[in-house]
Amino acid sequence: MSRFPSTTAMASTLAAVGLLAAMPVTASAAEASSSAQSSAQIVVIDAYTEKIKESGGVAFTCPTNQVLIGRAHGGDENGTTTYYCALILIDSQIATVSAPTWSGFQKESNSLFSAATDQVLVGRQHSGDENGSTRYATAQLSVAGRAVTLTGRRWTDPQKESSSSSKAGELEVMVGRQHSGDENGQTRYEYARLVG
C-alpha cells in the first residue's frame, strides 16, 4: 500500500480544504469554553489512513503536515494496525508540523508514553510481540511561525488491544498511549484539544 494518498484522493482532500477554508466555521459549545484563550477557527480534516503489520518493525509516520488522530488494532502481534492522520486548519491555514523526534524504545507489555505539553503524536514503531520494543514520534504544530496550543488532555477508558479502536474527539489530536500485557491486555489513548 502506498504511504501517500492517490492523486485523486489528494485532489479531493485539497478541494475539501479549499471549500472548508471558504466556509465560515462556527464555534461549538465545547469550543466556546476556550474562546477566552483563542478566537481561532479550527478545522480537523481526516485526511489519511494506512493499515500495516506492526510486528515487522516498520516505522509509521503520518504524511507531511499531518498528525495522528486515531489507531485501531485487530488480533495478535501479527494482526493489522490502522492509523488515522489529519490535516489541521487554523484560520484557513494548514498548520505546519515540524520534523518528527523519536522517543526511546520501551517494552510494549508495560509501556506508557505521553508527549510533551506542546507536542503531538505523528508516528509509532513496534517490533515483535508484547515483549518487543515500541517507540513514538512527536512533533510541534505551528501556524505562521506561532506554536499551536493544546489543552484539556484526557485519557480514554481502557480497551482490549486485540479488538481496539480509538479516534480523537472534536478538535482533538492524539498525544499519548499506554498498554499492558499481551494482545488481550488493556490499551488507553491520550488526546488533547487544539486551541489555536
pLDDT in tens, 112-124: 999 999 999 999 9
Task: Give the model's pLDDT for residue 40.
Answer: 84
Could you tell me if residue 178 is inside a domain? yes
Query: In the structure, what pLDDT confidence band is assigned to residue 12 with cuts at 50, 70 and 90?
Result: very low
SS3 40: coil
Q: Percentage of the chain with pLDDT > 70? A: 81
Q: How many domains does the chain have?
A: 1
Least confident of 23-32, 37-46, 176-185: 23-32
Domain containing residue 122 = 40-193
On whether residue 44 sits in a domain, the answer given is yes
Of 15-19, 22-26, 58-62, 149-153, least confident by mean pLDDT is 22-26
Q: Is residue 2 part of a domain?
A: no
Q: Report if residue 123 sits inside a domain.
A: yes
- Residue 100 CB: number of other CB atoms within 10 A? 17
Q: What is the mean pLDDT of residues 163-174?
A: 97
Measured over all CA atoms, what is the biggest interatomic distance in the chain, rounded to whole angstroms?
A: 49
pLDDT at 185 over 90: yes
Q: In this model, does residue 196 exceed pLDDT 60? A: yes
Asked if residue 32 belongs to a domain, the reply is: no
Rounded to whole angstroms, the Cα distance separating 78 from 70 reads 20
Residue 175 within any structural domain of the chain: yes
Helix (H, G, I), strand (E, B) or coil at 170: coil
- Whole-angstrom distance, CA of residue 126 vs CA of residue 182: 13
Residue 170 to residue 187: CA distance in whole angstroms: 21
* Cell 489507531 belongs to residue: 71
Beta-bridge mates of residue 136: 124
- For residue 17, what pLDDT band results from cuts at 50, 70 and 90? very low
Mean pLDDT along residues 5-15: 44
Q: Model-level pTM?
A: 0.81
Residues 43-87 pLDDT 10s: 999 999 999 998 999 999 999 999 999 999 999 999 999 999 999
The verdict on residue 28 lying in a domain is: no
For residue 165, the surrounding DSSP H or E stretch is strand 163-167
Contact 101, 107 (CB under 8 A): no
- Residue 22 within a domain: no
